[in-house]
Chain A
Amino acid sequence: MASSIRVRAVENNGVTSLKALVRHPMDSGFVKDSAGNVIPAHFIKVLTISHNGKNVFVANWGPAVSKDPFLECRFKGAKKGDELTISWIDNEGESDSTTATIA
């Protein structure tokens, strides 16, 4: 299965800029379907970005984050060619992880 995470990380002057797009419904639990049934909450709780085994960014998300969440962050200390690991886990215990190389 193709990864649910698309990542682009670019290093420039010592600062790595990372953009990640995750495919996820992010259902809030407040929305009803056309038949009037509440769609149960289903959202990513935690997304981590790690470099050399150390977290450089941790996002704690609630159901108010948009569907197919987009995230951008910047950090220092990584160089071109380094590998980043991006992982998430949702409220139903599903998870996914991918690696990206800094360009």
Chain B
Amino acid sequence: MIDQRRRGFLKGVLGAGVATFALGSGIVPLRVEAATAPDASDWPEKAFGTPGVDETIAELYGMEATESDQITMDLPTIAQNGAVVPVTVETALPNVTGIALLVAKNPNALAAYFDIPEGTMPFVSNRLKMAETTDVVAVVISDGKAYKATQNVKVTVGGCGG
């Protein structure tokens, strides 16, 4: 018992010594995990906290979206389980820089948005939650303009609350 405490004490002292040495000599151990983690500091808190489709598009992209038939949405018309609704969006529009997925009747409409750098295809597949029968809106940013397409999903079991 006493021995164990002594060991703990010794370890502590040694650890502190090493840390002091590292700081003193300017060698600060790097946290490798933190270095590879993405930066979430510019995650748009406000856009993700806005109800209503048009309001959210305005908040996120600062413009209105016009209807487009160049956006292909692939999602079930009837979802048995609102907690997992697969949504796929693809578009023939040129120079796409972003795609956003919105669920009209969720407490906050914005579900996800994606940055599409040059060389990446304007395609995304994701699974979303929706509380009730609702419109799902896909927004595509092409040539700096916003376009949208809408499809209704009938939800038989809600995704929130179960």
Contacts and interface: CB of A to CB of B under 8 A. Distances in A.
Contacts of A54: 117
Interface in B125-153: 125-130
- Most chain-B Cβ atoms within 10 A of its Cβ — which of A46, A47, A77? A46
A76 B51 CA distance: 35
Nearest to B131: A30
Interface residues of B, number: 42
Judged by DSSP, the binding face of A is strand
Contacts of B121: 15, 73-76
Interface residues on A, range: 35 or more
A61 B43 CA distance: 9
A89 interface: yes
12 contacts: A30-B161, A46-B40, A57-B117, A60-B44, A60-B114, A64-B110, A64-B128, A70-B86, A73-B114, A87-B36, A89-B40, A95-B34
Given A59-B124, A70-B127, A72-B124, 19 more contacts: A15-B121, A26-B129, A56-B117, A57-B117, A57-B120, A58-B114, A60-B43, A60-B44, A60-B112, A60-B114, A62-B108, A62-B111, A64-B111, A65-B127, A65-B128, A65-B129, A66-B84, A89-B40, A95-B33
